[in-house]
Structure 1
Amino acid sequence: MSQVPVQYFNLMEENYSKYGASAIQLIQIGKFYELWHEPDVSCVQQAYSQAELLAELPPPREGPLGITPPIEQVASLLDMRITSPGKRSLLQMGFPIYSLTTYLSTLLDKGWTIIVIDELITGKSGPKQRAVSQVYSPSCNLEDCSELSYVISIYLKDDLLGVTLFSAMNGHSIMFPVYWADRDKVARLLISYSIKEVVIWVDSGDNPGVLNKIYGLLIGWNLFPSEPNAKIEVMGSPCYLSYRYENDNKEWLLLHIYLGINEEWFNKNYQEYTLSKIFQSTWTEDVNQVNLISLLGILQFVKDRNPNFIKNLQLPESYNSVVSPLNLILCNRAEYQLDLLPKKGKLGGLLNLIDYCSTAMGKRLLKFRLLNPITNYSELNLRYEEIATFKQLLDKQIFDNSELKQIKDLSSLHRQWAICASSDTILPPKKLNQIYHSYLSASKLIRSLLPLLRSPRHLGIEHLAVGPQLESLIEEIERFFQVENLLGDLKDILQPTDSLTNLLAQQQTLRAQLAEWAEQASNIVFQDTTSIKAEYFSKEGYAFSILSKKLAKLNRVRERYLASPALSDTAHSPHTGELLSSIIILGKRGNYHIITSSAILKVSVELNLLEEQVNTYVKQTYTRELKRLYFSYSELFLPLENMISRLDVALSGAIVSTKFNYTRPC
């Protein structure tokens, strides 16, 4: 087996032990990502039914249910063909690098963890070096999604559980302790969150029944299949067990169980993760140790997938109990008995009936309110008042939701901005464009509402207080960036500065010089100005192109020049003469040959150096300004998100009350 497959499968072995049964590797080979499989090697995953896992005796080592190799599952999912090149005992499939973003959401939705191995740019000859560049897991990614994906971390200690929920998409986290006797109450809370991965930390000791205890706990929380015949993929080692399966709602979940977690592990990780370095503030009161271990576990889990996700985080919401006196409790799967939520893949449910929200943030808030009924009389009246206000505006036809429809998921976009402000990564201009235009729409929304909400009884006006600060942020963005070019090249995004203008002017002068030389040569040899052109080629850099069928004539002129250079100098410019005397053929592109000379090579090198200077200046300035803006205005982000989602829900309620003739309860 050649070096690259050996490297691939060595990495695969490491990644299985680190990321579990759901790991698939995509390795860059030129302009493609490929997935490989050795058909003669048995799968590390085994498949069992739920009943076999819950049996008191351990399941057979070979796994009674057949396991489909990951490459076959992925090929079927993406509708691709598996090939076996030559006579090698190796199966492979692949797709162009640019297609990865197209397939990511599909793979993540089916519970796969995608490990991307890219080629490294070393500038050295010899075999290409490769390394893991990115890891995407169902709960640790920033892909656009209508619902926030969460990972839940559970630490088991005697009869006490420490529970932490974390979303990489917006950095939100919540943690609380719960006694084993109260474990059923957690299920009510979890219905508000889209959980994609479950991580369990336990000091099993000599307790052989700990796995059944875990399975039973997760079945009660609808995080493990309750159907005895459900198929579950398993991969295990003495201290780490990994599972991939569909739950009862036909949603793919990953389960990771870490055994042997004790006080020593806690002390080691508490030292490694000084919480004050991760979170922007600290707790003002003592936190239960089971909560801290659960939190540290989730930080370790997320860090293994993307260290940037644990930077610049808000402190988790910390509660002393899973039960809040401010909310009613939905028990015994009441969300489905009352038909509050639709089951996956099916229509129906009260949420679908009343959801007229225009933004992803509003939709999430509406779902949360529906599943967490409140008992606070003042807050309930405030919500009714907001809906009544918007109903009046709709009835008078002086307001609509057109601006709300233009607002993207700022909760997720702000999180991506926070990560870039605290790391070496760059916020893509496309994301900045979405943020900027969402701000514009939010600002227009505020300006249109202010004159309509002057009456003191319209309590919703307090949510519009972010308007002046938002206007200031918009002005700052427009001052430093050419907002109309945010979807263009990075160098066109910055507002002109003396340094950038000078660099671009030097580039333009050298390009014009090459174009002039090309026109002179074309005029002398072919009596036109277009037969020889100055162009940029990705591999060769700046050079001249000429139709292959015209190359012979160029060579004849060159030979005459070499035969009598003194005579030819009277008709040729010095640079044209230099070109004719030292033509170098670099290669061929279709019907054209690429040619150069020592003078052209010199200019090409200067242009490449200038290009690097421009790119470096633009990236550094772009990143610096975005970091400055983030840290100057980050306190605005959460109130802005809350304002948009709250107004969106209120407007949705007004639309529903008008459509179905609902009235406010007495």
Structure 2
Amino acid sequence: MLATEITSLLTDKKKLLAEVYFELQAYFESKYGKDTVIFMEIGTFFEVYEVNNEELQIGKAKEMAELLNIQLTKKNKSIVENSVKNPLLAGVPAVSFERYLARLIQEKKYTAIVIRQKGVPPKLSRYVSQIISPGTNFDYMTDNEENYIASLIIDQHKEIYSVGYSAIDVTTGKTWLYEAHGTSEDQSFALDEIFNLLNVHKTSEVVITFLEGVKNQKEVLRYLEIADRFHFSVNNERHKIAYQNELFQNVYNIQSLLSPIEHLDLERSPMISEALAILVHFVIEHDYHIIQKLYRPQLIDNKRYMYLGNNALEQLGIISKDRDEMTLFKLMDKSCTAIGKRLLKERLLNPLLESEELTRRYNLIDKVNSHTRTLDETLRGIYDLERLARRISLGRLHPFEMNYVYESLTGVQALMNYIKKHKIQKSPFSEQEISEFIRDIQKSV
């Protein structure tokens, strides 16, 4: 269903709103999976409908009523029958809708379709304003962890699997790419590699594209533990090279004599290129704005890091699917900033093999050891600048968050001065730029 068809359906005066609702519910469920729920603004409420009779079962009114602790009723409670014309209904006031929506998104389970109304009767119309899923959650993050949405394109030839992988964290703008191929000796090697990446880069949502060679899709889903661990959907669309180039040029703002695919060094990696295109297209369908100003995609270089096969990260107790289980990461994590927490996890899950870089880090640890108390106190005043900077670049910063930016930058400035005074390390930041930014904030408040 095209966007124009959705608009046409929402403006169809010949159909009841409930009929329109269930047509859209069926469409979005087929596209994004069974954990899809539509919130439609009707008057001063956002409503969720459901039909549950012998002939038809569709909608999530009862499930939303239980989850959000709101009353379940019927469109017309004086009629016993539950049907499309008289569906079950759960609604929340429009004035407090954002609070309920945030509660739903924190479940990391649902794709929420928000349909808003504009105008006044009789010239009232409705439109799809937001599609929010666990991996495209930009405004409702409550923890400091990474939040990647991954795209997998999977093929199989003579029992040997090949996988193209791309992953984007829309809250930080980071993108990772990888391609893996099995061998005659280890036919599932590519799947093992991807299983590991889904652990290393904390993933909340997966979009999977199966190519014609895959004989048993359910077996692949079981092997990767997709259904048990992630919100996921199966994609059936393929994107031609011309469209991939167009997407990459727009999203990564590529101005080059080379084609965008060549500019990103993906001309020899067609599975990665298509996996990335599918992912970018998927995010654009949810929210075009959050896909803008991404960092250049990074190809994962396995030569730099130790190979961790057979789910070694969990078997060694470094991380765990069980949130309550004590792990090595939890034991080691004394980070006082969100950025530090993510960096620690990234380094712990990707053991480095480069001796020069390891030596540099060891030397830096020796220099910092005697200054940890002072540095710790300063760092505690620094908020999640990585995500705040992303919100600024997209024009999505809330006014109250400007104070977080100001306090963080003054903390960074103090940190830079201390490091410079004690000759710990050369600062990677421009002192002048940070000072100017702080002055600009002071002038505007």
**TM interval, short-chain normalised:** 0.7 to 0.9
Determine the C-alpha separation between the residues in 1 that align with 2:441 and 2:88.
50
The number of aligned residues is: 403
8 Å contact from structure 1 (residues 203, 260) kept in 2: no
Partner amino acid, structure 1, of 2:294:
L
Determine the C-alpha separation between the residues in 1 that align with 2:177 and 2:320.
27
Q: Does 1:278 align with 2:251?
A: yes
User: Aligned residue for 2:170?
Assistant: 168
User: TM (normalized to structure 2)?
Assistant: 0.82
**Alpha-carbon shift at residue 139 of structure 1 (Å):** 0.3
Query: Of residues 374, 380, 389 in structure 2, which corresponds to 1:405?
Result: 380
Q: Does 1:177 align with 2:167?
A: no
Q: Deviations over 1:254-286 (max 9, x none)?
A: 22223363xxx424633652x222214452643
Pairs within 5 Å for 1:25-44:
25-40=38-53, 42-43=56-57
Pairs within 5 Å for 1:346-357:
346-357=324-335
Determine the C-alpha separation between the residues in 2 that align with 1:100 and 1:344.
31
**Alpha-carbon shift at residue 114 of structure 1 (Å):** 0.8
User: Aligned residue for 1:22?
Assistant: 35
Determine the C-alpha separation between the residues in 2 that align with 1:137 and 1:341.
24
User: Aligned residue for 1:96?
Assistant: 93
**Alpha-carbon shift at residue 373 of structure 1 (Å):** 0.9
Determine the C-alpha separation between the residues in 1 that align with 2:368 and 2:48.
53
SS in 1 for 2:400: helix
Partner amino acid, structure 2, of 1:368:
E
Determine the C-alpha separation between the residues in 2 that align with 1:381 and 1:103.
50
User: Aligned residue for 2:78?
Assistant: 87
Q: Deviations over 1:605-639 (max 9, x none)?
A: xxxxxxxxxxxxxxxxxxxxxxxxxxxxxxxxxxx
User: Aligned residue for 1:130?
Assistant: 126
Determine the C-alpha separation between the residues in 1 that align with 2:91 and 2:42.
9
**Alpha-carbon shift at residue 127 of structure 1 (Å):** 5.6
Seen in structure 2, the aligned counterparts of structure 1 residues 358 and 31 have a Cα distance that, compared at 3 Å, is farther
**Alpha-carbon shift at residue 340 of structure 1 (Å):** 1.2
Determine the C-alpha separation between the residues in 2 that align with 1:468 and 1:71.
55
Q: Does 1:385 align with 2:363?
A: yes
SS in 2 for 1:325: helix
**Alpha-carbon shift at residue 75 of structure 1 (Å):** 2.1
Query: Who wins on radius of gyration, i.e. which is larger?
Result: 1
Pairs within 5 Å for 1:38-57:
38-40=51-53, 42-43=56-57
User: Aligned residue for 1:418?
Assistant: 393
8 Å contact from structure 2 (residues 153, 271) kept in 1: yes
**Alpha-carbon shift at residue 400 of structure 1 (Å):** 4.4
Partner amino acid, structure 2, of 1:186:
I
8 Å contact from structure 1 (residues 153, 295) kept in 2: yes
8 Å contact from structure 2 (residues 205, 232) kept in 1: yes
Determine the C-alpha separation between the residues in 1 that align with 2:303 and 2:242.
36
Pairs within 5 Å for 1:432-471:
432-451=402-421, 453-454=422-423, 458=424, 461-471=425-435
Structure 2: which 5+ runs fail to align? 1-13, 80-85, 184-188, 255-259
Partner amino acid, structure 2, of 1:81:
Q
Seen in structure 2, the aligned counterparts of structure 1 residues 173 and 194 have a Cα distance that, compared at 3 Å, is same
**Alpha-carbon shift at residue 115 of structure 1 (Å):** 1.1
SS in 2 for 1:463: coil
Q: Aligned-pair RMSD on alpha carbons?
A: 2.6
User: Aligned residue for 1:476?
Assistant: 440
Partner amino acid, structure 2, of 1:176:
Y
8 Å contact from structure 1 (residues 34, 95) kept in 2: yes
Partner amino acid, structure 1, of 2:130:
Q
Q: Which contiguous aligned blocks of 4+ residues in structure 1 show a shift greater than 6 angstroms?
A: none
**Alpha-carbon shift at residue 329 of structure 1 (Å):** 1.7
User: Aligned residue for 1:199?
Assistant: 207
Seen in structure 2, the aligned counterparts of structure 1 residues 280 and 364 have a Cα distance that, compared at 3 Å, is same
Query: Of residues 277, 280, 283 in structure 2, which corresponds to 1:302?
Result: 283
Determine the C-alpha separation between the residues in 2 that align with 1:2 and 1:162.
43
User: TM (normalized to structure 1)?
Assistant: 0.56
Q: Deviations over 1:541-597 (max 9, x none)?
A: xxxxxxxxxxxxxxxxxxxxxxxxxxxxxxxxxxxxxxxxxxxxxxxxxxxxxxxxx
8 Å contact from structure 1 (residues 406, 438) kept in 2: yes
Seen in structure 2, the aligned counterparts of structure 1 residues 150 and 180 have a Cα distance that, compared at 3 Å, is same
**Alpha-carbon shift at residue 369 of structure 1 (Å):** 0.9
SS in 1 for 2:306: coil
User: Aligned residue for 1:269?
Assistant: 243
User: Aligned residue for 1:77?
Assistant: 67
User: Aligned residue for 1:556?
Assistant: none
Determine the C-alpha separation between the residues in 2 that align with 1:33 and 1:259.
31
Q: Does 1:8 align with 2:21?
A: yes
Determine the C-alpha separation between the residues in 1 that align with 2:418 and 2:66.
51
Seen in structure 2, the aligned counterparts of structure 1 residues 341 and 271 have a Cα distance that, compared at 3 Å, is closer
Determine the C-alpha separation between the residues in 1 that align with 2:97 and 2:411.
31
SS in 2 for 1:28: strand
User: Aligned residue for 1:148?
Assistant: 146
8 Å contact from structure 1 (residues 36, 71) kept in 2: yes
Partner amino acid, structure 1, of 2:386:
S
Q: Does 1:316 align with 2:329?
A: no
**Alpha-carbon shift at residue 302 of structure 1 (Å):** 0.8
SS in 1 for 2:427: helix
Seq. identity, %: 24
Partner amino acid, structure 2, of 1:216:
E
Partner amino acid, structure 1, of 2:66:
S
SS in 2 for 1:257: strand
